[in-house]
Amino acid sequence: MTSDKFRRQLRHEARQWQVDGVISPDQFQQLQERYEFDRIDSSARDRFVIILIGVGSVLLGIGLITFVAANWQAIPRSLKLILLLSIFLGVNISGYWFWQKPLQADNRQRWHHRLGTGLLLLGGLTIGANLALGSQLFHIGGDAYELYWVWGLGVLLMAFGLRMAPLAVLSMLLLGMGYWAGLVEPDRWSGLPGLPWLMRGMPLFAGAIFTWLAYRCRSRVIFGIGAIALVSSFFVNLVDLSEQITIDSLPLFGILTTLLPPALLWSYDDALWDRLRQQPTSFKRWFRPVAQGLAIAYLVSLVYFASFHWPWVQTIEMMPLTTQITHLLGDHRWLWLNPVVFLLALVTLGNWIFLARPTPRTPRWRLVQSDLTMLLLLLGLAIMPLWHLSIAPIGAFITFLANVVLAIFAAGFIRQGLAQTNRSLFWCGLLLLTLQILSRMLEYETGLLLKSLAFVLCGAGIIVIGLWFERYVRHLNQPSVLAPKSVEETL
C-alpha cells in the first residue's frame, strides 16, 4: 500500500500534468481511481479521529483506574469481580466487533480494523490485571513469573485464534519475561502443574509453538523472535547440563552443541514444513531468509570472539579425542539423550538431509553451493577448537584464520550490498571491517600514535565510502526517462 505522502504528491503532479496537457482527463481519472485521490483527506481525518479516540480512551481508563484504586477497599468483593469481568469482556467484545468489521466491508473502513486491533491489544493487557487483582481478591499466592506464564499463555491463545501479530508479540514478550524471571528461583517451579516441564523444554516450545504462530500470522518478526528465544533458552539448558558434568573434560560435547543452533537455523526450509502439513508450498522461502540471516549473525559473533588472542592463550590439559568420544557414547550418553539436545539434533539432521534430497532440477543427492559452504564452515569451526583443546595447541593459527574469515564476511556483506544496492548489508560489512581493525589495534600492544592514526583512518574511510555509496545508489535509482512519459506508459 502506497503512503499518503506519495499519493498527495502524485495528485499534485497529476493535476499539473493535466493542466500542461501531458496527460488527458481520462488518464487523470485512471490515476485518481487507482491511487484513491479522493480518500487522501478522509484518511488523514480518520487517523486524527483515531488519535483522539486513543488519547481520550487512555485518559478515561487512567481516570477509572484512579477512581477504582481510591475506593478499592470500600468496594465489596463481588462488585470488584463483576467490575473486572465487565471491563475484560467489554474491551474484548468491542475490540473484536471493530476488528472483524473490515472483513465484511470495503477498504474505506480500515480505521475500524485499526481501532479493533488496539482494543484487542488492550484486552490482552487486561488479562494480567484480572489475574493479579483476582488472585488478590481470593488470596491466591504465587510468584511473578507464574503470573507472566499464565498471562502469556492466555494472550497466546488469543493470538492463535485471531491470527494477530501484535497479540503474538505481546504473548512472546510475556512468556519470555516469565521464563527469565523463573530462572532466578528454579527451586520454586512446582507452583503450577507442568511449569517445570515448560521451563526445561522452552527450546522445544519456542521452536514448535512460535514457528506455528509465525505461519498463522504470516509474520517474519514473530519467526525471528521465536528463533532468538529458541537459541537463548537452549544455551540455558546447556548451562544446566554443564553443572552436572566437568565440561572442560568434554570439549567435544560443548563445541558440537554450540554449533547446533546455526546448523539448525541455516538448514531450515519452509518447503519441509509445508510437506509435513501436507500443504502446497505457499510459504516456500517465506521464513528461510530470516533463519539464515540469524545463523550468519550467530556465526559472525562466534568468529569475532575467536579472532581475539586471549581465549587461546591458556591451554588446559584435556582428555584425548578418542577418550572423549568413548565417554560421550558410554558414561555420558545421557547428555545426548537429553530430550532438548536429542530432538534439536534430530531435527537439524533431518533438515540437512531434506536440503540434499534429489529434486527435479538435481536428480541426485547433493547440496547447493551456499549450503555446502556453510557446512564446511561449521565443520571448520568444530575441528579447529577440538584440535587445539584435545590434540595440540594451535591458538595462533586459529586466531589468524578467524580474522581471515571475519574479513571474508565483511567483504561479502559489502559486495552483496553493492550488488543489491542494500544499505543494511553494505553498512554491516563496513562496520564489521572497521570493528575488526579497531579490535586488533586495541588488543595488541601498539603505540598511541598508531592507535590514533587507525581511528582517524577508519573514521575518514567510513565517511568517504559512505558518501560514495549513497551517490552510487542515487545514480542507480535515477530514472532513464521523464516521469510524465513513464506515467503514460503505465496507463
Q: What is the pLDDT of residues 173-184, one digit of tens each?
A: 999 998 888 887
Q: Looking up cell 589468524, which residue turns up? A: 400
DSSP state of 193: T
Q: What is the pLDDT of residues 148-178, one digit of tens each?
A: 898 899 999 999 998 888 889 989 999 999 8
| 230 phi and psi angles, rounded to 5 deg | -65, -50
Distance CA 377, CA 204 (A): 26
Q: Higher model confidence: residue 186 or residue 342?
A: 342
Distance CA 82, CA 480 (A): 67
For the segment 414-429, the average pLDDT, to the nearest whole number, is 83
Cell numbers found for residue 24: 488527458
Q: Is the pLDDT of residue 30 over 70?
A: yes
| Ordered alpha helix ranges (H), 21-109 | 25-35, 40-70, 77-100
Distance CA 300, CA 298 (A): 6
Q: Is the pLDDT of residue 96 over 80?
A: yes
Task: Measure the CA dihedral 318/321/324/329, to 10°.
Answer: 170
CA-to-CA dists, residue 491 to 20, 39, 485, angstroms: 17, 21, 10
Q: Are 197 and 160 in contact (CB under 8 A)?
A: no
Q: Looking up cell 573514521, which residue turns up? A: 459
Which pTM does this prediction carry?
0.77
Amino acid identity at 478: Q
Q: Is the pLDDT of residue 138 over 80?
A: no
Place 97 in a pLDDT band, splitting at 50, 70 and 90: confident
Q: Is the pLDDT of residue 40 over 70?
A: no
Q: Are 427 and 417 in contact (CB under 8 A)?
A: yes
Q: What is the pLDDT of residue 62?
A: 67
For the segment 302-310, the average pLDDT, to the nearest whole number, is 89
Q: What is the pLDDT of residues 45-72, one digit of tens each?
A: 656 665 666 566 567 656 666 666 666 6
Distance CA 429, CA 433 (A): 6
